[in-house]
Amino acid sequence: MARIDVTIRGAGVLGLAVAWACADRGARVRVIDPGGVGAGASGGLVGALSPHVPEGWDEAKAAQLESLLMQGAFWARVREAGGVDPGYARTGRLMPVADAKGIEIARRRGEAARDLWRGEARWEVVPAPEGWAPVSGSGLVVRDTLAARVAPRRALAALVAAVRARGGEVLRDGAEAGPLVLATGVAGLGGAGVKGQAALLRLPGVEGCPQVYAGGIYVVPHADGTVAVGSTAEKTWEDPVSTDEKLEEVIARARALVPALGDAPVIERWAAVRPRAATGALWLGEERPGVFLANGGFRTGFGMAPLVGRLMADLILDGQDAIPSAFRAGG
């Protein structure tokens, strides 16, 4: 049996990102998940990689910016290693601006973005484009060029292929060896989480269009002619994986927000509980000697995956702890 340097429990996006970061540095990794790849919240539909608003800047927002700027190179390397397309594209985002006050706020944020985003992206107020655009009371929208999208299930498959291409294993069961990383999602947080429901619509012809966001609703075109819409944020529920009238409301609101959706057919409905730590932020770090945590992604798992992978690999393989205090496990 080959030597195993690092074991990761959990085959969601954070577990696989840590596995890939370690494997890409030459470590032999074993990922174990009894439910299989993407069995929890990572196996969803939406895949929006969206930045925080450029104001109230803090350590967590700075870390998110760094991770979003890493996305292109991260997914390109994953694709090169394993040969599987993760469906990544930096297509940007449109958000409606309701009125004069909203215009003022949006332009102020645009000025902040010029400084905080280091010239890497823009947050600007522009006329709503023809065709694919949200309904806007002012006729204007915010266009942010930092936002991107990834196809969640294809991205997980790409990570698995890349890990295996580097000699790693992704299994439903197996023995632990070496340092252990717990990336077990809701189960690792004692069941703490927020249920989300989302849907996938068939709509060819908008594959390269930007995502749209307003009022908690995400509308995300993907490269395969589908558009994901979501999601609910439910703190209580009876069935963690059932869909119901709450999702139907999301679909109706998405159609009203983006008229181009029209009567595009719904081809899949999905629900799961997303892991949310008590702090509301990621939990990263060494829990006890030889045991590490990478959990609590909630809505940020895919967006933070490149940085989480790098930070955890630095800590596990090199003993270098650069984890921001906002994400420190148990903090």
pTM of the model: 0.96
Q: How confident is residue 1, by pLDDT bands cut at 50, 70 and 90? A: very low
193-275 homologous superfamily: D-Amino Acid Oxidase, subunit A, domain 2 (3.30.9.10)
pLDDT at 214 over 60: yes
DSSP three-state, residue 110? helix
**Mean of all residue pLDDT scores within the chain:** 96
Q: What is the DSSP string of 206-221?
A: -TTSPEEEETTEEEEE
Side chain identity at residue 145, one-letter code: T
Domains 6-87+150-190+278-327 and 193-275 are alike in CATH topology: no
- Give the residue-averaged pLDDT of 265-285: 94
pLDDT > 60? residue 249: yes
DSSP string, 59-101: HHHHHHHHHHHHHHHHHHHHHHHH------B---EEEEE-SHH
**Alpha helices, H only, 89-226:** 100-116, 152-165
The number of C-alpha atoms within 13 Å of 240 and in the hemisphere containing its C-beta is: 13
Cβ-Cβ contacts under 8 Å for 136 (sequence gap 6 or more): 96, 97, 98, 128
If one compares 329 and 273, the residue with the highest pLDDT of the two is: 273
Quickly state the pLDDT bin for 331 (edges 50, 70, 90). Answer: low
The residue extents of the domains of the chain are: 6-87+150-190+278-327, 93-145, 193-275
Question: Virtual CA dihedral for 64, 53, 154, 220, nearest 10 degrees?
Answer: 180
Average of per-residue pLDDT across 138-143: 98
- Domain spanning 6-87+150-190+278-327: which CATH class is it, in words? alpha beta
User: For 20-38, what is each residue's pLDDT tens digit?
Assistant: 999 999 999 999 999 999 9
The overall longest dimension of the chain from CA atoms, in Å, is 66
What confidence tens digit (pLDDT) does each residue in 145-202 have? 999 999 999 999 999 999 999 999 999 999 999 999 999 999 999 878 999 999 999 9
> What is the tens place of the pLDDT at every residue in 89-100?
999 999 999 999
